[in-house]
Amino acid sequence: MYNNKPNMVELPAGTHYICQCGNSKNKPFCDGSHAGSGKTPSAITLEAPKKVFLCDCGESKNKPFCDASHTKKA
């Protein structure tokens, strides 16, 4: 299930797997719920801790990051 607003998260350095199927119970992170959906998580690798805005409307053209597409949804 998608929400119609971005997820702002502060992530530590390292690799993070971001849900792209909308079904994770641990959003914005992948929890394996995508199995059988044909979708896969996006990997983000950060060299240093960083605040990021992640798409949670499913429409961003720059996934997993928000590109403000949620503001154009009806």
Q: How many CB atoms lie within 10 A of CB 74?
A: 3
Interacting positions 6-65 with ligand FES (CB under 6 A): 19-21, 23-24, 30-34, 39, 41
Our CB check for ligand FES shows the closer of 1 and 74 to be: 1
Shortest reach from residue 18's CB to ligand FES, in Å: 8
Per the CB < 8 A criterion, the answer to whether 31 and 21 are in contact is: no
- The token pair that represents 20 in the structure block: 């792209």
Our CB check for ligand FES shows the closer of 32 and 49 to be: 32
For residue 41, which of 61, 57, 60, 24 has the smallest C-alpha distance? 24
Residues at the site binding ligand FES, with contacts judged by CB under 6 A: 19-21, 23-24, 30-34, 39, 41
